[in-house]
Every structure is written in structure tokens, then in C-alpha cells.
């Protein structure tokens, strides 16, 4: 019989949950979405959404998870409303990890390239960041190789089990990434022309601002970055000890994640302007830009490049592990529920293999660069690649929908007494109770519904 493990300590839980939240979404996703989504307008919308939706959905997921002690699939079956909601999580996990692993693979590729630069090898071969990526993106074999490599790394860590595998990884990598990013920010802000980037980030846009577009991008990015709406935090909550405070954790995690996203914005956007790149450059913005940043550092650049991509890979792995964990724990609970053997290792391997296969079109497509795959022109504002397709289905559709439905499950079906009982199980009062009640009932579902409506509007070009 499969037994549920639990976290070694609240610190371990926090580090793992922050580890899940902080990843490529912050460092790769946030700056480029801010670039497309309207700079300051995006930032303000994002921050409001973190407060009124992020913290709230985090709270809801953790409460459902801890109270039921189950994976998303079994939790919603047990609750008996929106019984299939758990499957959203599994589908989302599959889709996200498929493209996430390719981006993670790009980071590994860059790491190897910087190592080769340092050792006097071919390195970037004198190419610009843009040209180098075009070359990489047009090589499907290389894309598939690095996708597989990242997936394999993820699998290796997940095989260690919950507390052993995940906790250890986070404690060192995350603070180190933070310190490195601060150093890079200081460096980038001193570049000539960087102030235009600051103006883009912190002054109200005058042209090209589209409310629905900004809302859609910020809403999706917020859920993606906080790992919400697909049962990830629900799964983590199911391993959380009853002694710990849910409202406290549901505030600390979004706070830390948003801090990292802001730092990533400050690291990338001013540099984009300083090097005359296009802030609307799309999903590969991080790669083009950081290449120029490190090149401008002279001989120290390769060392910084190695450190940066190494730590980014660690951050990406801790997120990828949580994605694989959702998928795996769903599969385990389904099998255990049917009375079949539920051995973690083979199940995790099968899931990883399926995700790898799903990621192959993304790798061949190379974010639309290779021209080898059909594109999806029906997606909004220039998002056309396979990566965009998976991303739009997951963070544009399934995650906001999952968030709305989870809030409805709590406010309509389970009720606030049910929540209160779980939240006060730690012996403390329910902190900010009024805020959570009003948000769960009204504010969050309404705002998230707007995010969904924005997706449909942008589909019709509005």
C-alpha cells in the first residue's frame, strides 16, 4: 500500500513550495511577458492579481490539499463536485512540463556553451545571441537531445522521494540565484541606455496598451509563476503538517515568488533597452539578452554565464520536479484507488517518458524558429509556436478555469466552516479571515473569469 510521506519541517515545505514557484516562469517568463504585455501596466495588473487571486488560490489549494490529504484527482472525487477537476491538473502538468523541459534544455545548452567559451572551445563562435539561438532552434536533433536531458535530470531527482529529493535541492540554489541576480541587476543598471528600460517598467504606457491583452498575460503568468490552478500547491498542501499555518504560508510563497519575478524583470528589461533589443522579442528574450550582458563583461562573462545558467537550471529543476510530482502522484492515487500496485519509480518513469514525447514537437519547432512545424496563427498577438500553443492552453485556459472552479468548490460546496476547521487545526486563529472569505466568494472568481474572457477576446482579435 502506498503511504503518504510528509515534509521534514515547515522550512522544508516552504523551500520546496517556493522552489516549485520560483523557476523559469520568473526568470524566463516574467520579463518577456512584461515586454509584450505593456511594461508598467503589466506590472501593476500583475501585482494586484497576486494579491487578490494568487494568495487566495494558494490558500484554497493548500486547504483542500491538507484537509483531504490526497492528490488532485482523488481529492475532487472525494469532495464530489467537479469530480473531474483533478484531471485538469494532470493535463496541465503534462503540457507545461513538455515545453518547460525544452526551455530547461535551452538553459543546459547555454551552460555547455559558456563552459566551452571558458575552456577556449567553439563557444558562441562570435555569433550574436539572436543568431546563436536561431542556429540552435533550427536544429531539431539538438533540441530533442536537450529536452530529453532536462527531463532525465528531473526524473532522477524525483526518484529520491518527497522530502529527500526535493528539499535538499532548494536550500542552497535559490538564495544563490537571488544573490547572483542582484549582482547582475547592479551591473546592468549601469549600462548606458538602461534607464529607458526602467522607464518602460515603471511609467504608465501611452501607446499600444490593450487592457484585455495585459490582463490575459498578467493573469496567466501569475498563475503559472505561482504554480496555481492545476493542483500543484494542492499536492504540496497534502504533505503539509497540521501544525503549520496555511494563511502564513499562502502569503510567504507569493511574496518570495513575486520578488524573484521583479528582480528578473530588473535584470533583463534594462539590458534589453541598453543593447537596443526588442522588448517584445517574445519567449526567447532571456536568451538573446543575457548573451549580450555576459559578452559585455569581457573575460569574466563566461564565468558569470556559467553561474547564471547553472543556478537557473537548479531553479527550473525544482519547478519541473513539482510538475512531475503532480502527474506522478495523480497516477499513484489512481492506481492505488483501483487496488493496483502503486510503485512510485516505474510510474514516474512512464510519466516522464510520455511528457518527453509530448515535448518533441516543441523541440522540433524550436519556438517557431525552425520552420519545420505548422504554426498556430489563430492564437492571439503573434503567439504561434508549439510552445505558445501548450502555454496558452495551460496558463491561458486551464489554470484560470481551475482557479475559478476551486474557489467555487470552497464557497458553494464545502463552505467556510470546513475551511475554518482546517485552517485553525494548527491552534491559531484564521488570519485575514474576512479578506479570504470575500475574495474566495467574489473577487477571485470574477477576476479570473475576466482573464478567461480576455483570452476569448484576444482570440477574436479584440
Residue among 52 and 224 whose Cβ is closer to ligand PHE: 224
Cβ proximity to ligand PHE: between 226 and 408 the closer is: 226
Q: How far is the CB of 103 from ligand PHE (least distance, A)?
A: 9
- Name the residue nearer to ligand PHE (CB basis): 194 or 240: 240
Question: Distance between CA atoms of 47 and 45, rounded to whole angstroms?
Answer: 6
Site string for ligand PHE, 291-320 (x = CB under 6 A): ----------------------------x-
Q: How far apart are CA 332 and CA 436, in angstroms?
A: 32
Contact code string over 387-426 relative to ligand PHE, x by CB under 6 A: ----------------------------------------
Closest contact distance (angstroms) between CB of 234 and ligand PHE is 11
How many residues bind ligand PHE, per CB under 6 A? 15
CB atoms near residue 395 (< 10 Å): 30
Nearer to ligand PHE, 127 or 259 (CB): 259
Q: Does 225 contact ligand PHE by CB under 6 A? A: yes
Phi, psi of 381 (to 5 degrees): 25, 65
| Residue found under cell 523557476 | 23
Angle at 47 between CA 202 and CA 275, to 5 degrees: 40
In this chain, which of 13, 17, 18, 26 binds ligand PHE, going by CB under 6 A? 26
User: What does the alpha-carbon distance between residue 289 and residue 281 come to, in Å, rounded to a whole number?
Assistant: 10
Stretch that binds ligand PHE, among 15-23, 41-49, 179-187, 447-455 (CB under 6 A): 15-23
Rule CB under 6 A: is residue 283 a binding residue for ligand PHE?
A: no
Under 8 Å between Cβ of 229 and 399: yes
Structure letter (DSSP) for residue 240: S
- Out of 19, 23, 86, 265, the only residue in the binding site for ligand PHE (CB under 6 A) is 23
196-215 residues in contact with ligand PHE (CB under 6 A) are none
Phi-psi group of 277: left, alpha or beta (phi > 0 → left; psi -120 to 50 → alpha; rest → beta): beta
Shortest Cβ 362–ligand PHE spacing (Å) = 15
Cα separation, 462 vs 459, in Å, equals 8
Q: Which stretch binds ligand PHE (CB under 6 A): 49-57, 159-167, 226-234, 272-280?
A: 226-234
Q: Alpha-carbon distance 307 to 198, whole Å?
A: 25
Q: In this chain, which stretch among 21-29, 75-83, 112-120, 235-243 interacts with ligand PHE, using CB under 6 A?
A: 21-29
Closer CB to ligand PHE, residue 96 or residue 451? 96
What is the footprint of ligand PHE within residues 311-370 (CB under 6 A)?
319, 322-323
Of the candidates 2, 240, 227, the residue with the CA atom closest to the CA atom of residue 93: 227
Site for ligand PHE in 74-113 (CB under 6 A): 96
Spell out the SS3 assignment of 190-208: CCCCHHHHHHHHHCCCCCC
**Distance of alpha carbon 244 from alpha carbon 344, whole angstroms:** 27
* Grid coordinates of 148: 530529453
Q: Which stretch binds ligand PHE (CB under 6 A): 127-135, 227-235, 301-309, 368-376?
A: 227-235
Q: Please list the alpha-helical segments (H only) found in 30-84.
A: 30-37, 40-49, 55-68, 72-79
Q: Are 384 and 376 in contact (CB under 8 A)?
A: yes
- H/E element, 221: helix 211-225
**Could you say which of 25, 35, 237, 282 contacts ligand PHE (CB under 6 A)?**
25
Nearest approach, Cβ of 339 to ligand PHE (angstroms)? Answer: 29
Is 262:71 a contact under the CB 8 Å cutoff? no
CB 153 within 8 A of CB 159: no
Between 23 and 123, whose beta carbon lies closer to ligand PHE?
A: 23
Query: Quick check: 238 binds ligand PHE (CB under 6 A)?
Result: no
- Which residues contribute to the site for ligand PHE (CB under 6 A)? 20-21, 23-26, 96, 224-225, 227, 230, 232, 319, 322-323
Amino acid at each position: 500500500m502506498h503511504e503518504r510521506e510528509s515534509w521534514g519541517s515547515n522550512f522544508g515545505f516552504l523551500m520546496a513550495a517556493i522552489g516549485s514557484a520560483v523557476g523559469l516562469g520568473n526568470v524566463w517568463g516574467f520579463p518577456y511577458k512584461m515586454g509584450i504585455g505593456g511594461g508598467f501596466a503589466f506590472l501593476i495588473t500583475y501585482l494586484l492579481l497576486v494579491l487578490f487571486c494568487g494568495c487566495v488560490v494558494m490558500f484554497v489549494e493548500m486547504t483542500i490539499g491538507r484537509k483531504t490529504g490526497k492528490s488532485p484527482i482523488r481529492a475532487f472525487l472525494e469532495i464530489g463536485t467537479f469530480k473531474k477537476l483533478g484531471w485538469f491538473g494532470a493535463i496541465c502538468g503534462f503540457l507545461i512540463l513538455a515545453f518547460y523541459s525544452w526551455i530547461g534544455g535551452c538553459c543546459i545548452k547555454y551552460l555547455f556553451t559558456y563552459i566551452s567559451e571558458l575552456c577556449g572551445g567553439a563557444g558562441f563562435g562570435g555569433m550574436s545571441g539572436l543568431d546563436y539561438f536561431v542556429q540552435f532552434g533550427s536544429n531539431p536533433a539538438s533540441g530533442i537531445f536537450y529536452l530529453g536531458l532536462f527531463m532525465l535530470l528531473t526524473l532522477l531527482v524525483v526518484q529520491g522521494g518527497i522530502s529527500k529529493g526535493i528539499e535538499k535541492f532548494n536550500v542552497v540554489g535559490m538564495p544563490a540565484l537571488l544573490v547572483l541576480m542582484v549582482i547582475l541587476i547592479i551591473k546592468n543598471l549601469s549600462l548606458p541606455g538602461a534607464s529607458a528600460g526602467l522607464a518602460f517598467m515603471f511609467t504608465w504606457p501611452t501607446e499600444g496598451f490593450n487592457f484585455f491583452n495585459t490582463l490575459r498575460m498578467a493573469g496567466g503568468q501569475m498563475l503559472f509563476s505561482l504554480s496555481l490552478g492545476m493542483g500543484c500547491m494542492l499536492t504540496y498542501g497534502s504533505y503539509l503538517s497540521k501544525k503549520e499555518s496555511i494563511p502564513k504560508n499562502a502569503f510567504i510563497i507569493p511574496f518570495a515568488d513575486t520578488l524573484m519575478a521583479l528582480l528578473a524583470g530588473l535584470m533583463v528589461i534594462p539590458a534589453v533597452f541598453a543593447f537596443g533589443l526588442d522588448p517584445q522579442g517574445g519567449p526567447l528574450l532571456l536568451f538573446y539578452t543575457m548573451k549580450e550582458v555576459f559578452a559585455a563583461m569581457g573575460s569574466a562573462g563566461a564565468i558569470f554565464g556559467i553561474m547564471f545558467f547553472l543556478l537557473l537550471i537548479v531553479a527550473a529543476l525544482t519547478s519541473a520536479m513539482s510538475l512531475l510530482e503532480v502527474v506522478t502522484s495523480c497516477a499513484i492515487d489512481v492506481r492505488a484507488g483501483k487496488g493496483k500496485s502503486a510503485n512510485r519509480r516505474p510510474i514516474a518513469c512512464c510519466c516522464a517518458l510520455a511528457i518527453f514525447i509530448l515535448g518533441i514537437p516543441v523541440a522540433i519547432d524550436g519556438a517557431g524558429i525552425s520552420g519545420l512545424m505548422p504554426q498556430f496563427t489563430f492564437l492571439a498577438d503573434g503567439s504561434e509556436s508549439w510552445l505558445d500553443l501548450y502555454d496558452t492552453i495551460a496558463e491561458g485556459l486551464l489554470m484560470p478555469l481551475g482557479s475559478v472552479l476551486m474557489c467555487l468548490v470552497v464557497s458553494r460546496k464545502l463552505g467556510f466552516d470546513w475551511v475554518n476547521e482546517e485552517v485553525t487545526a494548527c491552534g491559531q486563529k484564521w488570519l485575514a479571515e474576512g479578506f479570504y472569505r470575500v475574495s474566495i466568494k467574489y473577487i477571485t472568481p470574477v477576476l479570473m473569469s475576466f482573464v478567461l474572457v480576455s483570452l476569448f477576446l484576444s482570440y477574436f482579435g479584440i
